[in-house]
């Protein structure tokens, strides 16, 4: 069995060797999950709910340990990491209420009674990226388990540590063997087997748009259910009538949180031309004040990038081929020089609407700021993207806030805020940002089939 050396991205040092499952081991885990499904689906709703609450309690009791694992493995700031472990607990608690409330319908028909059931699918394969290892895992496995499915979960190669721990906590909490199995391994081996193995009845994939397209194509072979949460190029639209101080002060958090490795990062800031210069002059000190450094330090705002490869990708948007700063760079903050995969927060002001920095997901602490003229122009620029995941609108005019919210082609918008995700509200993308919705009250529907039964009374 091959292994993967997990690195601490803040130091570049090895922290653990993790065994990678091969196809045979993946098949064995999927077959165990298929057998476990036969009894898990029949666990009484109240008992399934109780087990999920116990799992949530176990996560809560281990919260600081999980957070420290994420700081070491992913370079997330300790504050964020605690929030992410807390999110797993909260998502489990939220969906623990679902088994007893996932109601069917009784539909009036002639000659009998018509009722619908929500039947679980079977084994669900969850494929997780490296940027938010804990929350993204939980958004998949919690509703899937609540709906009566069993789950096999593959963490990203770079960030398996917290997922492995969550697998242990599930067992400690009394979730039966085989109901929730974490399988570290390569995407091309374990992830691909989720797509091809006939016992896996649904794939929940979060990751890059390129891999997502291949997964969707692969799933079509068996008409396998699929949810895709993919990339983004979200716009933060700032109107001249907005509270500019607040908009500028919060803009770095809206794009540089998690070092910009966030599918919802507002990596384009669109500013109404009459406020453009003032906004940039307010943004500059806000960016220069972002504290980049040791993620374990409570005072740190931003940690390192996940890997040397990611730093190289991000650099390609900021440096010319010769190594000099690109002419697009307006200003930069600071970052440590040694050890880890550091990158300073960077603001670009591209003038070419076709610039790579305006079109491609950067997935690093780099933001492009461009001017717009009026509402129609703002919508034209915001929607000029293959992506449509999230975005923000800053204005004090409530009518404009609603008009622009309705006009932006994206699944998750916030007005005078950069909050994108709440476990109680639906999350997902338009266009090439994804397919389907996670979280919120309806997530169970995408982990079940609706079965219609007619009972004749005559
Ligand atoms: P990635 O697509 O490289 O990998 C994601 C996961 O897919 C990993 O676990 C990987 O091992 C697996 N994988 C890779 N090739 C596979 C294959 N052929 N078959 C099956 N699985 C395979 O993405 P990444 O670099 O880990 O994550 C970054 C991307 O994720 C960004 O594009 C980001 O926008 C996106 N993302 C989206 C959301 C969202 O909710 N929309 C959230 C977080 C991240």
Catalytic residue among 70, 219, 263, 264: 263
CATH class of 2-230+433-456: alpha beta
Pocket test for ligand 1, best of 208, 359, 431, 434 (most atoms within 8 A of CB): 208
CA distance to 209, 234, 430, per residue, from 414 (Å): 23, 11, 15
Do 152 and 200 meet the contact criterion of CB atoms below 8 Å apart? Answer: yes
Q: Where are the alpha helices (DSSP H) in 303-361?
A: 308-315, 356-359
Q: Which atom of ligand 1 is nearest to the CA of 433?
A: 41
Ligand 1 contacts CB of residue 264 (under 6 A): no
Spatial separation of the C-alpha atoms in residues 363 and 367, rounded to whole Å:
10
pLDDT of residue 380: 98
The H-or-E segment that residue 168 falls in is helix 161-172
Going by CA atoms, what residue is nearest to atom 34 of ligand 1? 231
Q: Which atom of ligand 1 is nearest to the CA of 429?
A: 41
Q: 203 CA to middle of ligand 1, Å? A: 13
Q: 398 CA to middle of ligand 1, Å? A: 37
Distance of CA 281 to the CA centre of its chain: 32
pLDDT of residue 50: 98
Of 190, 229, 207, 233, nearest to 130 by C-alpha is: 207
**Tens of pLDDT along 308-346?**
999 999 999 999 988 899 999 999 999 999 899 999 999
**What average pLDDT does range 105-113 have in this prediction?**
98
**Tens of pLDDT along 121-148?**
999 999 999 999 999 999 999 999 999 9
Spatial separation of the C-alpha atoms in residues 405 and 394, rounded to whole Å:
11
**DSSP assignment string, 278-298:** HHHHHHHHHHHT--BS-TTST
Contacts of 28 (CB under 8 A, 6+ apart): none
Going by CA atoms, what residue is nearest to atom 39 of ligand 1? 229
What is the CATH number that goes with domain 235-422? Answer: 3.40.309.10
**Same-fold call for 2-230+433-456 versus 235-422:** no
Tell me phi and psi for residue 456, to 5 degrees.
-70, 140
Going by CA atoms, what residue is nearest to atom 37 of ligand 1? 230
**Tens of pLDDT along 154-182?**
999 999 999 999 999 999 999 999 999 99
Q: 187 CA to middle of ligand 1, Å? A: 9
Q: Domain coordinates of the chain in residue numbers?
A: 2-230+433-456, 235-422
pLDDT of residue 42: 96
Spatial separation of the C-alpha atoms in residues 258 and 253, rounded to whole Å:
9
Q: Which atom of ligand 1 is nearest to the CA of 156?
A: 9
**Tens of pLDDT along 259-306?**
999 999 999 999 999 999 999 999 999 999 999 999 999 999 999 999
Work out the pLDDT band at 1, boundaries 50, 70, 90.
Answer: confident
Distance of CA 195 to the CA centre of its chain: 20
**263 in active site:** yes
Ligand 1 contacts CB of residue 206 (under 6 A): yes
Contacts of 169 (CB under 8 A, 6+ apart): 55, 58, 59, 62
Distance of CA 37 to the CA centre of its chain: 27
Do 60 and 163 meet the contact criterion of CB atoms below 8 Å apart? Answer: no
**What average pLDDT does range 9-15 have in this prediction?**
97
Mean pLDDT taken over the chain = 97
pLDDT of residue 190: 98
Going by CA atoms, what residue is nearest to atom 28 of ligand 1? 207
Going by CA atoms, what residue is nearest to atom 12 of ligand 1? 187
Ligand 1 contacts CB of residue 185 (under 6 A): no
Q: 208 CA to middle of ligand 1, Å? A: 4
The residue written with tokens 């003229």 in the block is 373
pLDDT of residue 60: 98
**264 in active site:** no
Q: Could you tell me what percent of the chain has a pLDDT over 90?
A: 98
pLDDT of residue 420: 86
Spatial separation of the C-alpha atoms in residues 104 and 93, rounded to whole Å:
22
Do 70 and 84 meet the contact criterion of CB atoms below 8 Å apart? Answer: yes
Handedness of CA 231, 293, 73, 71 (dihedral sign): negative
Catalytic residue among 70, 84, 229, 361: 229
Supply 366's token pair.
């780099």
Work out the pLDDT band at 202, boundaries 50, 70, 90.
Answer: very high
Of 213, 301, 265, 296, nearest to 421 by C-alpha is: 265
């Amino acid at each position: 069995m091959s292994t993967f050396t997990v690195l601490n991205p803040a130091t570049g040092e090895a922290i653990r060797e993790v065994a990678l499952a091969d196809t045979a081991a993946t098949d064995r885990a999927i077959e165990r999950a298929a057998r476990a499904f036969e009894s898990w689906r029949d666990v009484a709703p109240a008992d399934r709910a109780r087990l999920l609450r116990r799992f949530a309690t176990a996560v809560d009791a281990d919260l600081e340990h999980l957070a420290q694992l994420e700081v070491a493995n992913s370079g997330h700031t300790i504050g964020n990491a605690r929030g992410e472990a807390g999110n797993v607990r909260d998502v489990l608690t939220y969906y623990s209420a679902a088994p007893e409330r996932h109601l069917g319908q009784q539909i009036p028909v002639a000659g009998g009674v018509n009722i619908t059931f929500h039947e679980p699918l079977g084994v669900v394969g969850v494929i997780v990226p490296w940027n938010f290892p804990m929350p993204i895992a939980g958004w998949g496995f919690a509703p899937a388990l609540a709906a009566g499915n069993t789950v096999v979960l593959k963490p990203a190669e770079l960030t398996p540590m917290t997922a492995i721990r969550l697998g242990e906590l599930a067992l400690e909490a009394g979730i039966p063997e085989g109901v929730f199995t974490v399988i570290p391994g390569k995407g091309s081996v374990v992830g691909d087997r989720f797509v091809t193995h006939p016992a896996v009845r649904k794939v929940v994939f979060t990751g890059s748009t390129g891999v997502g397209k291949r997964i969707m194509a692969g799933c079509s072979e068996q008409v396998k259910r699929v949810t895709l949460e993919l990339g983004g190029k979200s716009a933060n639209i700032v109107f001249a009538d907005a509270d500019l101080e607040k908009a500028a002060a919060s803009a770095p958090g809206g794009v540089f949180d998690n070092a910009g490795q966030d599918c919802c990062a507002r990596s384009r800031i669109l500013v109404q031309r009459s406020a453009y210069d003032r906004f940039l002059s307010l943004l500059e000190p806000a960016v220069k004040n972002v504290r980049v450094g040791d993620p374990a330090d409570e005072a740190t705002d931003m940690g390192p990038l996940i890997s040397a490869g990611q730093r190289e990708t991000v650099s390609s948007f900021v440096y010319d081929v010769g190594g000099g700063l690109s002419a697009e760079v307006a200003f930069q903050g600071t970052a440590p020089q040694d050890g880890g995969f550091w990158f300073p927060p960077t603001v670009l002001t591209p003038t070419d609407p076709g610039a790579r920095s305006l079109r491609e997901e950067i997935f690093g602490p780099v933001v492009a700021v461009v001017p717009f003229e009026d509402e129609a122009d703002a919508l034209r620029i915001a929607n000029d993207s293959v992506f449509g995941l999230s975005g923000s609108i800053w204005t004090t005019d409530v009518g404009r806030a609603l008009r622009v919210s309705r006009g932006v082609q994206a699944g998750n918008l916030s007005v005078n805020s950069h909050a994108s995700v709440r476990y109680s509200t639906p999350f997902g993308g338009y266009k090439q940002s994804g397919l389907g919705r996670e979280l919120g009250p309806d997530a169970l529907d995408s982990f079940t089939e609706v079965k219609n039964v007619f009972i004749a009374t005559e």
